[in-house]
Amino acid sequence: MAAFQFTLEATCPDTGARAGRLETPHGPVLTPCFMPVGTLGTVKGVSPDQLAATGAQMILGNTYHLHLQPGEGIVAQMGGLHRFMHWSGPMLTDSGGFQVFSLGGLRQIDDDGVTFKSHRDGRLIRLTPETSIQIQNALGADVVVAFDECPPYPAGRDVVSQAVARTQHWLERCINAHGRPDQALFGIVQGGVYQDLRHHAAEQLVSYDLPGYAIGGVSVGEPGPLIREIVQWTAPQLPAHKPRYLMGVGTHRELAQGIAAGIDLFDCVLPTRLARHGSALVQGERWNLKNRQFQADPAPLDPTCPCYTCQHFSRAYLSHLYRAQELLGYTLLSIHNLTELVGFVGRMRQAILAGRFSSAFTYWLRAPVSEDLG
């Protein structure tokens, strides 16, 4: 069997939802799949064993941040990112392209690449398509991502068109620089909120016949309805027999609607970021555990949740930990939030396999009331 192989197991007859299996050198990934984000070689607040217990299959590392600290040379010397962080399952590394957006005040873009001023110590960091791939080759993740320009929202058509052209040119350079057959290279569709630019970018990208394809440049400030439209425009343009990855999206509704459009892989920092701010994801709702109503509540966060946190601790205890700023609170809530999102996507996979996706997830597939009214 090839190191990378994607097999469709079931499709939903009245949406684009599909269930599949992605084979990687570090094991299979059953899709659709939510991937926790481990930017610096750790998913914040949880150990690898705790992370595995959430049901997580595949996780992310970030090229830019790992290049700054500890450096890809040290990671390679330690046996690669899997061994370095003691994660035996599949991994993906982002290219550093998102930092072109998120560190907009600390970088300069030109046609050759991007120069960053390090947010850590002020030194200048140069990322080009070649160096991004070289760093990712050294880190050793199963899936690597082409370096791209991620424009902000809002951005004018000329700016976005230039980013699309630059991203395609950089993809060609990434392909030429990529030197490890045991790593699958995914390209990224950019195009902002412009449907014709998205279609053009997808058409160009598909011509390279890559192992997988990502949709980038969403969740960068645009409202939910636009995210939904972008995904609905773009996903059908990508090959049905290759995995499709929607970058940086992770609310319940975004996940459900992305799956309905035919997306297979998702990532987002949302579950651990919310945990660090005292918020719990409970069956799609967000609860602020610092609220007075939880101070003497003996119930678990979610009696139906199988996670370690819900099986052992009360809402009152978790509220106490956050009020006291105890680090255990961040860990316990991260475990729960990760379990919630990983499990939510897993239940959608089972519904697709059982032929009941549309009926079981009707609530999440429709627009929220505020959109219906407006």
pLDDT in tens, 152-198: 999 999 999 999 999 999 999 999 999 999 999 999 999 999 999 99
Which residue did the predictor score with more confidence, 369 or 274? 274
From first CA to last CA, the distance across the chain in angstroms is 51
Which residues partner with 145 through β-bridges? Answer: 186
- Do 84 and 139 meet the contact criterion of CB atoms below 8 Å apart? no
**Phi/psi at 186 (nearest 5 deg)?**
-100, 140
Q: Which residue matches tokens 């279609």?
A: 199
Mean residue pLDDT of the chain comes to 96
**Cα-based angle 222, 102, 261 (whole degrees, multiple of 5):** 40
- At 370 the pLDDT is 57
Read off the pLDDT of each residue in 16-22 and give the average, rounded to a whole number.
Answer: 98
Residue 6 has pLDDT above 80, yes or no: yes
Query: 2 versus 60: which is more confidently predicted?
Result: 60
High-pLDDT (> 90) share of the chain, %:
96
Say which of 94, 142, 148, 264 is annotated catalytic: 94
34: part of which helix (H) or strand (E)?
strand 33-36
The residue to which tokens 């290759």 are assigned: 242
What residues does each domain of the chain span?
Answer: 5-274+337-367
User: Are 107 and 100 in contact, with CB atoms under 8 Å apart?
Assistant: yes
| pLDDT tier, 367 (very low <50, low <70, confident <90, very high otherwise) | confident
pLDDT of residue 372 exceeding 70: no
Query: What residues contact residue 73 under an 8 Å CB cut-off, 6+ apart?
Result: 138
Look at residue 236 in the predicted model and tell me its pLDDT: 97
pLDDT above 70 for 373: no
C-alpha to C-alpha distance for 67 and 137, rounded to whole angstroms: 12
Tell which residue, 360, 99, 85, has the closest CA to residue 220. Answer: 99
On whether the CB atoms of residues 149 and 109 are closer than 8 A, the answer is: yes
CATH topology for 5-274+337-367?
A: TIM Barrel (3.20.20)
**Triad 253, 259, 265: Cα angle to 5°:** 105
pLDDT at res. 374: 28
Going by the DSSP 8-state scheme, the letter that residue 305 receives in this structure is -
Q: Does residue 49 carry a pLDDT above 90?
A: yes
pLDDT tens digits, residue range 304-353?
999 999 999 999 999 999 999 999 999 999 999 999 999 999 999 999 99
Is 267 annotated as catalytic? yes
Is the distance from CB of 170 to CB of 146 less than 8 angstroms? yes
Section 129-142 average pLDDT: 98
pLDDT tens, residue by residue, 350-365: 999 999 999 999 999 9
3-state secondary structure of 110: coil
Whether residue 94 lies in the annotated active site: yes
Q: Cα separation of 160 and 148, whole Å? A: 12
Residue 371 pLDDT grade (very low, low, confident, very high; cuts 50, 70, 90):
low
The string of pLDDT tens digits covering residues 201-244 is 999 999 999 999 999 999 999 999 999 999 999 999 999 999 99
Catalytic residue among 142, 148, 264, 267: 267
The pLDDT value recorded for residue 369 is 58
